[in-house]
């Protein structure tokens, strides 16, 4: 008879159970006046699982429509503990977009915050599914009542590659695509984030990054793994962030560059952080001037790169000790690079059109490829898109162009050309163009990114109207806002003939140049 070593399937839910045993009395969650320990967190998420098992079967989808509250944080544990799949909904979407995700995912249950209840009610008017709705917050806090009286439940994970969550993101066709996360990937990515952020039991993490965005880059699990404190924040408010830094001892948060700019301009910035604050920044790299300003305020940034398909940041600009001795001017181009693969990912590749690796000369352009344990299972109910996203040997095609430096650091040179990153949110130009095209006066439309001092980028639309048609710029923007989320609508509409190639393809590269240096006398109406 031989002895066999028994191993456990990896799941990020295990971090909550461990924290409850190792740090039972340590503060786990702060949400306004609510405070509870890791022992209490583990008790609550098991109770939530007990509630959900009354409504779902293993594999069913549970959607949550809420800002960064303890409810959404608890759902990252309670939903998988019930054997279900988490679908965290973007609170900024239009009712029609939310309805599409509810239908596509087939959500059986929706947990909704009181502030989002009206939006959900409108979405359900467009939806074909009829989920059980559990209200949280407000005068009728059904969620709290159910969790308080529920029996604990904990469904074991028997396959670490099974479905943990679905994160919806806009695809190249403009339709949201459901990115499928597995337990193993979330577990390892959470450890990577805890490692690179240097989280420990003294850390206090502020929830400025939406938890609905790629499961908050896996920080709902990373912070717990480290035994740190989750500080929930319902909305990004510079004054509240500074208050949390000064009064609550916040040491870490993640954000888009626009949040850093807002913090630097807020009156509270007159008093720098009393201790260093580590910030992970995604999206376009912050400008050297902004980095210098925030550094003086005690806010030190690290740049990251990743996609929803890679569980968030797959690439980190790993700081090298030798950089300390460099001048700010010499250091700026180094820290502005996207960097190297995180600790659980395989080394990046940059390849040419034939799939061959480009030379590491910091100038030869190619597509960035990624591979590792922190890659999605695929797109939910979309085998065609899943197949198109990977190379024959299993590398994920990012669609982003970059160069490889001699030291192995990658630098992004151009995003997937039709995607606009505004305030950390991806906007697919095709989706906006389709909304514009619905107006009877519009003959042709193209949408590109325009630089913006606050949001980094915003959409700008170039529109050709039908013969004898006339419409005001503001009227057309309002028309689009009625069809898609307001933040996706163009900030400007420029009327005229669109430049095209001999084959009739719109020359978006020319339009991007115009968006960077727009004419002063742009027509507002035709």
Same domain? 409 vs 423: no
Judge if 506 and 366 occupy the same domain: no
Regarding whether 40 and 67 lie in a shared domain, the answer is: yes
Same-domain status, 389 and 425: no
Same-domain status, 409 and 454: no
Query: Is residue 264 a part of any domain in this protein?
Result: no
Is 305 in contact with 337 (CB distance < 8 Å)?
no
Residue 87: half-sphere exposure toward Cβ, Cα within 13 Å:
27
Q: What is the DSSP string of 147-211?
A: HHHPPP--PPPS-TTSEEEEEEEE-TTSSEEEEEEEHHHHHHHHHHHHHHHT--TT-EEE--S-T
Question: What percent of the chain stands above pLDDT 70?
Answer: 93
- Tell whether the model's pLDDT for residue 173 goes beyond 60: no
Whole-structure pTM value: 0.83
**Model confidence band, residue 367 (pLDDT cutoffs 50, 70, 90):** very high
| Segment 204-231, tens digit of pLDDT | 999 999 999 999 999 999 999 999 999 9
In the chain, the number of structural domains is 3
Considering the domain architecture, whether residues 180 and 49 belong to the same structural domain is answered as: yes
Q: Are 167 and 178 in contact (CB under 8 A)?
A: yes
Question: Residue 523: which pLDDT band, with cuts at 50, 70 and 90?
Answer: very low
Q: What is the spatial distance between Cα 252 and Cα 222, in angstroms, rounded to a whole number?
A: 12
* Residue 472 to residue 264: CA distance in whole angstroms: 36
pLDDT at 518: 61
Identify whether residues 62 and 155 lie together within a single domain. Answer: yes
* Residue 78: count of CB within 10 angstroms of its CB: 30
Asked if the structure places residue 501 within a domain, the reply is yes
The CATH number of residue 137's host domain is 3.40.50.12780
Sheet containing strand 492-495, edge to edge, reads 442-452, 456-465, 492-495
Out of 188, 203, 224, pick the residue that ends a domain: 188
Q: Across the chain, what does the average pLDDT equal?
A: 90
Range of the domain at 452: 419-516
Q: Would the pLDDT of 437 be above 90?
A: no
Are 132 and 140 a contacting pair, CB within 8 Å?
A: no
Instruction: Tell whether 56 and 105 lie within a shared domain.
Output: yes
| 68 and 94 inside one domain | yes
Taking only the tens place, the pLDDT of each residue in 459-495 is 999 998 987 889 999 999 999 999 899 999 999 999 9
Check whether residue 133 and residue 20 sit in a common domain: yes
Task: Give the percent of the chain with pLDDT over 90.
Answer: 68
Mark whether 368 and 512 lie in a shared domain. no
Domain endpoint, select from 168, 188, 208: 188
Q: Do residue 53 and residue 170 come from a single domain?
A: yes
Q: CA 393: distance to chain centroid? A: 27
Residue that finishes a domain, picked among 364, 394, 414:
414
| 21-47 confidence digits (pLDDT tens) | 999 999 999 999 999 999 999 999 999
């Amino acid at each position: 008879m031989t002895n066999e070593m028994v191993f456990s399937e990896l799941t990020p839910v295990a971090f909550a159970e461990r924290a409850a045993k190792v740090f039972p009395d340590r503060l786990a969650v702060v949400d306004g006046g609510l405070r509870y320990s890791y022992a209490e967190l583990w008790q609550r998420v098991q109770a939530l699982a007990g509630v959900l098992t009354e409504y779902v079967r293993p594999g069913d989808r549970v959607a949550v429509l809420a800002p960064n509250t303890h409810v959404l944080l608890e759902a990252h544990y309670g939903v998988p503990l019930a054997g279900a799949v988490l679908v965290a909904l973007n609170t900024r979407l239009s009712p029609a977009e939310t309805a599409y995700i509810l239908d596509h995912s087939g959500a059986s249950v929706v947990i909704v915050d009181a502030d989002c209840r009206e939006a959900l009610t409108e979405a359900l008017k467009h939806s074909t599914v009829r989920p059980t709705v559990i209200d949280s917050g407000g005068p009728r806090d059904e969620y709290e009542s159910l969790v308080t009286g529920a029996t604990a439940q904990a469904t074991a994970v028997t396959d670490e590659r099974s479905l943990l969550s679905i994160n919806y993101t806009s695809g190249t066709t403009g339709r949201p695509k459901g990115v499928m996360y597995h337990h193993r990937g979330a577990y390892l990515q959470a450890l990577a984030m805890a490692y690179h952020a240097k989280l420990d039991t003294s850390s206090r993490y502020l929830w400025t990054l939406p938890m609905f965005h790629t499961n908050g880059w896996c920080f709902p699990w990373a912070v717990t793994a480290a035994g740190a404190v989750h500080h929930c924040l319902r909305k990004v408010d510079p004054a509240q962030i500074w208050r949390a830094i000064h009064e609550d001892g916040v040491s870490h948060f993640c954000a888009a560059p626009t949040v850093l700019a807002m913090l630097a301009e807020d009156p509270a910035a007159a008093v720098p952080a009393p201790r260093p604050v580590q910030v992970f920044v995604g999206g376009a790299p912050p400008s050297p001037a902004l980095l210098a300003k925030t550094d003086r305020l005690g806010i030190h940034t690290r740049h990251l790169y990743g996609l929803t398909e890679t569980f968030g940041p797959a690439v980190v600009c790993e700081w090298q000790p030798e950089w300390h001795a460099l001048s700010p001017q010499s250091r700026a181009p180094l820290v502005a690079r996207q960097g190297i693969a995180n600790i659980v990912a395989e080394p990046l590749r940059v390849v040419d059109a034939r799939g061959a690796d480009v030379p590491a000369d910091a100038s030869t352009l190619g597509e960035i490829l990624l591979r590792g344990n922190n890659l999605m299972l695929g797109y939910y109910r979309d085998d065609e898109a899943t197949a198109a996203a990977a190379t024959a040997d299993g590398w994920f095609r990012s669609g982003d162009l970059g160069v490889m430096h001699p030291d192995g650091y990658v630098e992004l040179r151009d995003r997937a050309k039709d995607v606009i990153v505004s305030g950390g949110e991806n906007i697919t130009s095709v989706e906006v163009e389709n909304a514009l095209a619905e107006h009877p006066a519009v003959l042709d439309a193209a949408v590109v990114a325009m630089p913006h001092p606050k949001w980094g980028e915003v959409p700008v639309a170039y529109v050709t109207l039908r013969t004898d048609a006339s419409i005001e710029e503001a009227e057309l923007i309002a028309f689009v806002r009625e069809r898609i989320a307001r933040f996706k609508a163009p900030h400007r509409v420029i009327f005229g003939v669109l430049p095209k190639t001999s084959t009739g393809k719109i020359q978006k590269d020319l339009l991007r140049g115009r968006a960077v240096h727009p004419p002063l006398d742009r027509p507002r109406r035709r």
